[in-house]
Amino acid sequence: MTPDNRTQVLISVGTNLDRRKHLPEAIRLLRRNRFLDVNEVSRVFESPSVGGGASAPDFYNAAVHACTGLEPKELRDELRHIEAVLGRVRGEDPDAPRTIDLDIAYYDDLVDTDGLRIPDPDVLTAPHVAVPIADVAAEWVHPETSQTAYEIASALDTTRVRVVPDLHLMSRKRSSFDDNWDDDRLEVYAPRMEALVHQHLIEIGEDPEREGLLRTPLRVAKATDYITSGYATSLEDVVNNAIFDAEGADEIVLVKDIEFYSMCEHHMLPFFGKAAVAYLPDDKIIGLSKMARIVDLYARRLQVQERLTNQVARAVQDVLNPHGVAVVMDGRHLCMMMRGVQKQESSTVTSAMLGTFKSDARTRAELLDLL
Ligand code: ZN
């Protein structure tokens, strides 16, 4: 994904209910949203509730710097959806405690003071909003006042906004999928999934508290997010700007030996192998490395090999509209090799043919020669 040709946004995040769960979950859902590309996340700040009265629980706040192809209204709907997933009910009382609050603080340099209130007026007046924003994007310039985020926060009374020292939210720059980025800090990544993995360990007769397993739920959550990152990626992101005009190109383009790793949806065990993707251009070609990324896009989900093969073919068809597409995948399935029939040497070959590869025997024969 390339941030440059998309809109940069700042999103403020707040919670005052079950904060150590809801804040990391919100960041994870933002990161896994296929329309958003999270670049950096602020530290976590704690501050008293502003409108909720003295008995209202204190808030945790953070800010997220991201890129998106969504329009402001679409982005707001997407944030509302994440709020709903995390149990937010928008009721009558605007100051009631909430599981999560996701607001568009800035949308590039857009000024929309009617419907969407962008920039969020709170960025100028509320320390609990301004401080996290200054933390994640100090140089961001307010489109109306021309002050930087740092200048805005510095001018406010921030004495009641404190850093939460032992809660660190993962950002892309901190290498989300790296197990060992910082062992001596308490890292919180995906509390709900980690709780499931913890329970899974108990169910199989293990002791999740023994030394070797202490960080296993965290590692499993991160590995799972990587292995299923296809859900968080769109075809447009993958293809982005890599289609070229090639008038007169009329020979088969074939990319062979593309390694793929996927997970069977029946047993959630890996299957893996090699893919070959071919197409017969109609004046448009695509960067060769993009073929592997298209395969990854669909492989990094729960799959059956037949559907995976078809989806890759369909994707190439959609982005290039060529005369024909052919995909052949050869995979070995751990659910067959490790269990059940234990046919350890068997492999499964699937193919999908579209256009001339399907309708024209000569084109198909030419492809088989190349393979
Ligand atoms: Zn299986």
Section 173-196 average pLDDT: 60
Instruction: Give the domain range for residue 200.
Output: 189-227
Q: Provide the pLDDT confidence category of residue 168 given band limits of 50, 70 and 90.
A: confident
Give the other-Cβ count within 10 Å of 158's Cβ: 16
Cα of 343 to ligand 1 centre, how many Å?
13
Q: How much distance in Å is there from the Cα of 325 to the middle of ligand 1?
A: 27
* Ranges 175-179, 307-311, 348-352: which has the least confidence: 175-179
Which pLDDT value is given to residue 181?
46
pLDDT at 185: 45
Please state, for a pLDDT cut of 70, what percent of the chain lies above it. Answer: 92
Ligand 1 centroid, distance to 210 Cα (angstroms): 30
Radius of gyration of the CA atoms of the chain, in A? 24
Ion ligand 1, residue ranges at CB < 5 A = 264, 266-267, 335
Listed as own residue / partner, the contacts of 173-180 with beta carbons closer than 8 Å and 24 or more positions apart are 173/39, 173/40, 176/31, 176/222, 176/225, 177/222, 177/223, 177/225, 177/226, 178/222, 179/215, 179/218, 179/219, 179/222
pLDDT exceeds 80 at position 156: yes
The pLDDT, as a whole number, for residue 171 is: 57
- Whether residues 128 and 263 fall in one domain: no
Banded pLDDT at 338 (limits 50, 70, 90): confident
pLDDT, position 9: 97
Question: Is pLDDT of 118 > 70?
Answer: yes
Pair (193, 181) in one structural domain: no
Instruction: Let me know whether 315 and 220 are in one domain.
Output: no
**Is 65 noted as a catalytic residue in this protein?**
no
- For the chain, the domain total comes to 3
Domain boundary among 227, 257, 280: 227
* Mean pLDDT lowest among 13-27, 60-74, 90-104, 286-300: 90-104
pLDDT at 210 exceeding the cut of 90: yes
**85: CATH:** 3.30.70.560
195 with 172, same domain? no
335 in active site: yes
Evaluate whether residue 211 is within a structural domain: yes
* Average pLDDT of the segment spanning 159-188: 63
pLDDT greater than 50 at residue 46: yes
Same domain, 248 and 223: no
Find the catalytic residue in 8, 264, 311, 323: 264
d(CA 316, CA 310) in angstroms, rounded, equals 10
Q: pLDDT-derived band of residue 342, with 50, 70 and 90 as boundaries?
A: low
* Active site (annotated) includes residue 67: no
Residue 305 known to be catalytic: yes
Residue 224 CA, ligand 1 centroid: distance in Å: 17
Asked if pLDDT for residue 72 goes beyond 70, the answer is yes
For residues 317-334, give the mean pLDDT. 96
Q: Measured in angstroms, how far is the CA atom of residue 266 from the centroid of ligand 1?
A: 5
79/77 Cα distance (integer angstroms): 5
Q: What is the rounded average pLDDT for all residues in the chain?
A: 88
Q: Which of 305, 311, 323, 366 is catalytic?
A: 305
CATH number of the domain that residue 290 is part of:
3.30.1130.10
What is the per-residue pLDDT for 92? 73
18 with 155, same domain: the answer is: yes
Q: Do 164 and 212 fall within a single domain?
A: no
Annotated active-site residue in 74, 209, 265, 306 = 265
Ligand 1 centroid distance, CA of 204 (Å): 20
